[in-house]
Structure 1
Amino acid sequence: MSADELHYKSITELSELYRRKEALPSEVTQAILNRIAKLDGGLHGYAVVLAERAMAQAKKHDSEIIKGIWRGPLHGVPIGLKDLCYTTFAPTAGGTKIHAKFVPSFNATIVDRLERAGAVTLGKLKMTEGAYTSHHPDDQAPLNPWNANYWVGSSSSGSGVATSAGLCYGSIGSDTGGSIRFPSATCGLTGIKPTWGRVSRYGVFPLADSLDHVGPMCRSAADAAAMLGVIAGADPNDPTALLAPVPNYPARIGDGVRGLRIGVDRKYIQEGIDAQVVAALLEAERTLADLGAEIREVKFPSYEKLVSQWIPMCSVETAEAHLETYPSRKSEYGPDLAQLIEQGSSVSGVEIAAIHHERLKFSGSLAALFEDIDLLLVPTMPMPIPTLAKMSEYGADPGVLLSILRFTAVFDFSGSPTITLPMGMASDQMPLSMQLVGPHLSEEVLARAAHAFQSMTDWHTQRPPIR
């Protein structure tokens, strides 16, 4: 099989090639490393490429697969890690200059789990500084492979770019206000933000601990389910990791949506939302109904106040996370992360209590809503992907950031699982994206609903115009 036929294979397809011994991990890994060498100089998705180590891993997996040893669906599959995952074999900078040379003494739990499952680690992927909104001024930001003039999302920007461009088969992202979902949306990917605590955060640089989620970013729901099954589960090193057993997500991926109750709140998903987004979402709703889902009209809980409280809450927890280096090394910080930390240092305890109470009220109301429905259908963003010029204009208006967070931040507050997936194309030929949201620990249902949608549509198979 030629290298040109390999880079956009799904994880499932790649695994089947290995099982039939029609390809070997070393051949695939070398092909992807060649593609990285060819394209990443213009895309800037990787912070560091670990070519020698990746090839050594791949050759080890060659011998295992030849002998009939099978570790599971990720065996021999080349992936990328967001550069906030601790690795003993490469620096973990977290998008910062402060930690540019930091090499941890242990791996993040998710790194060990991926490598035990046979994944080949190609390298560390770029991200915004400290996982907030912008890249450090000294760092070259990744460029959207669909169109370099458009926003690539934050903070898992490199994960979005590399996965979309065929520079890895899947990647790890993290999400505090939308950082798995925005780059998935802007790059035409499928990303799962799991239930808070479903995936261990041990050895993952925090932005805001009570809001941070870690999950997979892939090119299909089936691939994302396979990755989630490897990284999810209890962890003695992370007492916040949930103890609930991890289902075999791929096993029921094909069960469909017949009989599932999917809620829609017309006001929440249509008022103030771009007409192209609304039209694509209505078409997605029709597709799900045609597949047998029951569409139910619902009333989404009051969310506006909570969205407005995301920045204050994030700022406080970020300030706490950076106590060892801020303000003592303030000059090494970029302006946006520094401003967030400064804000967090000035938020009062009374303000925090008010946010906490609002969060509890919203989470309780959302949990009650899921008593009557199985999933909720919402957009990922209220508008098509903005250009970089438009994002620069937005930077001066905090109200725009809150508008963009409308469909993401609330589900970080509630810890609810979501799956983000492509649902169409805008007039500028950039992807449009939707989310399915579920009650806690409903990732299995989310994955199979998204897979059912993708079995009837081809939006997830569209590729950026690069070769």
Structure 2
Amino acid sequence: MIRNDLHYADLATIGGMLRRREISAVELMAHMLERIARLDPLLHGFAFLDTDAALEQARAADILLAGGDCGPLTGIPIAVKDLFWTADMPTAAGMTIYRDFRPPEDATVVWRLREAGAVIFGKLQMTEGAFAMHHPSVEPPVNPWGEALWTGASSSGSGVAVAAGLSFASLGSDTGGSIRFPGVANGLTGLKPGWGRVSRHGTFELAASLDHVGPMARCASDAAMLYAIIAGHDPADPTSWPGGPDPLDMDAVIDLGGLRIGYAPAAQEGCDAELGTAIGEAVSVFAGMGAGLQEVSLPDMLSGAAQWELLAGVEAALAHASTYPARAEEYGVALSRLIGLGRDASAMAYQKARLIRMDLSGRLDALLADVDMLILPVLPYAAPTLDRLGALAEDPDANTRLISFTAPFNLSGQPALCLPCRPTSDGAPLGFQLVAARGREDVLLRAAIAFQRETEWHLRHPFD
């Protein structure tokens, strides 16, 4: 008999059950498909789902499992953001222009998941072109913690599906916060690796030098497993780093003694009181595990965040040059505005923004040479209601404030990991992020795994 909560099992648990033949891959896939059929009409997380192909992949996985020739993800159903090429499914990137596009191959990250045995069974909904808003023709995903809550920008469907137990994990992308926003909005753990640590080959661009690809999961150990699979050099992406990450021992005792955590109390001025209290509690958890706290001053994050839209707009204009303005009428208002901003930008304004970016990156590099990681908010508040978000959209200063903790690390390229902490008094998810120096994803993952061994906030789920 299938456990009622099987859909919330972590990757190691469900993988062990499959390898021990306590459940078959077909039974597991059927269980997930039944749950999707019941819940996704309410949540709208999926952009594409092929049930027949999913069951066929599961049958093939069962043959591998029976023979003992299997990888760490063999038989585990994982759906991915509809930004990533899939040779067996359309990839629309949230756009009507590409609704019938069948890529010639898998994105490198999708191929690597398949090589590890994952059943890639569906594509998850997203904002148009991975920017701020869903295309007008798309039914936006619904936050499973409350239909009035934001789902967190472009990796919205990934956040919803993983939180609701419709996929065991997912892949997202983060150009200004779109792994971390849906991560905290849906109560998940998400890793934005450093720029270049994960191949972008076969991934629709929003802004090439700001785009990061990473895992979204329900716990840090799952994020670590997925990161170890997808990271590493890819000849098809010359910007990817040579070599790959060292695997983490998930069963090892993690000693945080001597770890230096930079804490910036001044950064929380203007944040909601409940968020400040929750992050303070998280800081106390780390201190209780032996980490040392060091008060730090951040560089001017707001000025950096204020450059994000211009820089992203110029790169987005280049990415969409073959279809915009030629097919501008098929674009939604938000993405059209961003591309227009980039096309109209002067060289002087663009260079000024680049210099501010370089200055911010250097200052963050210097700060992270003195501490092992920073602990910061992701948002200045809990996941905002859709009404509050609508009001923010009308206020450029408020929108810059919204991305002031996330976009700077897209500009600078350092890795950042979000994870849940104590929720609000009415049960809405809250979260924070850890940021480390370039190439130190291992520090973030070890700290997050240790944190989640001491806390249970990541074990909350919105549905049975």
Instruction: Find the residue that maps to 2:419 and give its secondary structure.
Output: strand
Residues 185-196 of structure 1 aligned to structure 2 (within 5 Å): 185-196=184-195
Cα deviation, 1:151-208, whole Å, max 9, x if unaligned, reads: 1111000000000000000001000000000001100000000010100000000000
**Residue 57 of structure 2 aligns with which residue?**
57
SS in 1 for 2:8: coil
One-letter code of the match for 2:307? Q
1:205-258 Cα shifts (integer Å, max 9, x gaps): 000000000000000000011111111010000000111332113457642422
Single out whichever of 402-411 and 357-366 deviates more from structure 2.
Answer: 357-366
State the secondary structure of the residue aligned to 1:352.
Answer: helix
Ranges in structure 2 where 5+ consecutive residues have no aligned partner: none
Question: Residues 181 and 380 of structure 1 are in contact (CA less than 8 Å); yes or no, is this contact kept in structure 2?
Answer: yes
Flag the 1:130–1:27 CA change in 2: closer, same or farther, 3 A. same
* CA distance in structure 1 between the partners assigned to 2:412 and 2:342 by the alignment: 21
Mapped partners of 2:76, 2:366: distance in 1: 40
List runs of 5+ in structure 1 lacking aligned partners: none
Distance 1:12 1:406 in 2: 35
Residues 94 and 129, structure 1, Cα contact 8 Å, conserved in 2: yes
Shift of 1:272: 1.0
SS in 1 for 2:177: coil
Question: Using the alignment, how far apart are the partners of 1:360 and 1:204 within structure 2?
Answer: 25
In structure 2, C-alpha distance between the alignment counterparts of 1:65 and 1:259, rounded to whole Å: 42
C-alpha distance in structure 2 between counterparts of 1:9 and 1:251, whole Å: 16
Inter-partner Cα distance in structure 2 for 1:294 and 1:276: 24
Q: Give 2:181's aligned residue.
A: 182
Q: For residues 13 and 83 of structure 1, do their structure 2 counterparts lie closer, same or farther at Cα, with a shift above 3 Å needed?
A: same
Counterpart of 1:140 in 2: which secondary structure? coil
Q: Percent identity?
A: 45
The corresponding residue for 2:271 is 273
**Which whole-Å CA distance do the structure 2 matches of 1:359 and 1:391 have between them?**
26
User: Could you say what secondary structure the match of 2:322 adopts?
Assistant: coil
Q: Does 1:150 align with 2:131?
A: no
Residue identity matched to 1:315: G
1:428-439 equivalent positions in 2, closer than 5 A: 428-439=426-437
- TM-score under structure 1 length normalisation: 0.97
1:11 aligns with 2:11: yes
1:89 counterpart SS class: coil
**What SS does structure 2 have at the residue aligned with 1:112?**
helix
Alignment equivalent of 1:374, drawn from 361, 372, 375 = 372
Mapping of 1:16-55 within 5 angstroms? Answer: 16-55=16-55
Q: Determine if the alignment matches structure 1 residue 170 to structure 2 residue 169.
A: yes
Aligned to 1:240: 239
| Matched pairs, number | 464
Which stretch of structure 1 is more off in the superposition, 429-438 or 363-372?
A: 363-372
**Offset at 1:119?**
0.4
Match for residue 345 of structure 1 among 339, 343, 346: 343
Does the alignment pair 1:198 with 2:197?
Answer: yes
Contact preservation (8 Å) 1:253, 1:447: no
Instruction: Specify the alignment match of 2:115 in structure 1.
Output: 116
Please state how far the C-alpha of 1:21 moved relative to its aligned partner.
2.0
Q: Distance in 2 between matches of 1:204 and 1:3?
A: 36
The answer to whether residue 150 in structure 2 is matched with residue 133 in structure 1 is no
Query: Conserved in 2, the CA contact under 8 Å of 1:108 and 1:202?
Result: yes
User: Which stretch shifts more, 47-56 or 136-145?
Assistant: 47-56
Instruction: State the SS of the aligned residue for 1:273.
Output: coil
What is the CA–CA distance in structure 2 between the aligned matches of 1:251 and 1:283, rounded to whole Å? Answer: 25
Give the distance between the partners of 1:351 and 1:95, measured in 2 at CA.
30
Asked whether the 8 Å contact 1:196–1:415 carries over to 2, the reply is: yes
1:70: Cα distance to partner?
Answer: 2.6
How far apart are 1:260 and its partner, in Å? Answer: 0.7
Q: Is the 8 A contact 2:231 2:244 kept in 1?
A: no
1:259–1:292 Cα contact (<8 Å) kept: yes
Letter in 1 for 2:120: T
SS in structure 2 of the partner of residue 196 of structure 1: coil
Q: Compute the TM-score of the two structures, normalised by the length of structure 2.
A: 0.98
**Residue-by-residue CA offset, 1:109-155 (whole Å, 9 max, x unaligned):** 11111101100112000000000000001110000001011111110
SS at match of 2:120: strand
Q: CA-to-partner distance for each residue in 1:403-447, whole Å, 9 max, x for gaps?
A: 110110000001110110001111221010000000011111111
Q: Which amino acid aligns with 1:10?
A: D
Q: Is the contact between residue 263 and residue 298 of structure 1 (CA under 8 Å) also seen in structure 2?
A: yes
Structure 2 residue 219 is matched with structure 1 residue 223: no
CA–CA separation in structure 1 for the residues paired with 2:446 and 2:404: 25
Q: Does 438-447 or 11-20 show the bigger shift?
A: 11-20
Distance 1:396 1:301 in 2: 27
Take 1:440 and 1:344, find their aligned partners in 2: how far apart are those partners?
28
Would the aligned equivalents of 1:254 and 1:451 in 2 still touch at CA under 8 Å? no
- Quote the Cα distance in structure 1 between the aligned partners of 2:443 and 2:28: 32
Q: Does 1:361 align with 2:354?
A: no
The equivalences for 1:75-86 within 5 A come to 75-86=74-85
Stretch deviating more after TM superposition (198-207 or 388-397): 388-397
Q: Is the 8 A contact 1:96 1:333 kept in 2?
A: yes
Residues 1:159 and 2:158 are matched in the alignment: yes
Q: Assess if the C-alpha contact under 8 Å between 1:252 and 1:448 holds in 2.
A: no
Give the letter aligned to residue 218 of structure 1: A
Gap change, CA 1:315 and 1:459, over 3 Å in 2: same
Q: More deviation in 207-216 or 292-301?
A: 292-301
